[in-house]
Amino acid sequence: MAEIKTLVATVRSGTGKGAARSVRREGRIPGVIYGGGEAAEPISLDYREMNKLIYAGHFLTSIFEIEVGGKKTRAIPRDYQLDVVKDTPLHVDFMRLKAGSRLRMEVPVHFINTDTAPGIKRGGSLNIVRHSVEMFVPADNIPAALTADIGKLDFNESLHISAIVLPEGCKPTITGRDFTIVTITPPLTMTDEAPTAAAAAAAPAEAAKAAPAAKK
């Protein structure tokens, strides 16, 4: 299950652009918690903390326990807005996670045993087709990642979704085909025949240049 992180937020009074700008002037980020059969709850969050979390990576697949006025709500980020010039966070949307519900999300893929794969040891390259897989997952048991073991792959061999053990209750959104996750491609090498052929073609030209000099 994905690690649960904690956030402390405050209730945000007022909505709309004017209220959001006021929150940002205070060094905070406006946000909202919605879903789960409850009314949307406007909140504000610490700017520095949110900026760090967003740029740390995997923000949209992280689970948060958000405390607002002593009440804790488990939620997951579903979207965030950045300033088009400064790339600083402007707004964050969180969706409540209720036990028993399911959600659609991208789950990252972690690759293991890359150093022992025969194709890699012989100079091949890892061609990652999917860095993540879109899945339906339980809201109360969101996987941190899928594990792809490529330790036995050789040149031109692939690992498909059927070879990955899926966490309980998780199912890919793509059905009906065994899609590819990763392949190993052989190295591109130069043969010795090409330089030999080029040298043979150049030999008559060199001999022709030398002939007039010999007559003098």
Q: What are the tens digits of pLDDT across the range 66-92? A: 999 999 999 999 999 999 999 999 999
pLDDT at 203: 53
pLDDT at 78: 92
Sheet holding 158-160, edge to edge: 125-128, 180-185, 158-160
- What separation in angstroms does the CA of 114 have from each of 25, 125, 143, 177? 48, 10, 22, 25
Burial class (CB in 10 A: 0-12, 13-18, 19+), 203: exposed
Provide the whole-model pTM. 0.71
Q: Which residues contact 104 (CB under 8 A, 6 or more apart)?
A: 134, 135, 136, 137, 173
Range in 18-22, 151-155, 159-163, 196-200 with the lowest mean pLDDT: 196-200
CB 150 within 8 A of CB 184: yes
Q: How confident is the model at residue 216 (pLDDT cuts 50, 70, 90)?
A: very low
pLDDT at 141: 83
Q: How confident is the model at residue 57 (pLDDT cuts 50, 70, 90)?
A: confident
Say how far apart CA 44 and CA 201 lie, in whole Å.
Answer: 75
Domains belonging to the chain, first-starting first, are 4-98 (2.40.240.10), 103-185 (2.170.120.20)
**Most distant CA pair in the chain, distance:** 104
pLDDT at 189: 73
Question: The dihedral of CA 43, 89, 16, 60: what is its sign?
Answer: negative
Q: How confident is the model at residue 11 (pLDDT cuts 50, 70, 90)?
A: very high
Among 28, 162, 7, 17, smallest CA distance to 94 is for: 7
The mean pLDDT of 194-206, rounded to a whole number, is 52
For the record, the structure tokens of 198 come out as 């080029």
Q: Is the pLDDT of residue 1 over 50?
A: yes
The mean pLDDT of 153-181, rounded to a whole number, is 96
Say how far apart CA 145 and CA 49 lie, in whole Å.
Answer: 24
pLDDT at 16: 80
Q: Return mean pLDDT, the chain.
A: 87
Angle at 54 between CA 43 and CA 139, to 5 degrees: 70
pLDDT at 193: 46
Each as own residue / partner, the long-range contacts of residues 175-178 (CB below 8 Å, 24 or more positions apart, any chain) are none
The mean pLDDT of 147-175, rounded to a whole number, is 96
pLDDT at 191: 47
CB 44 within 8 A of CB 102: no
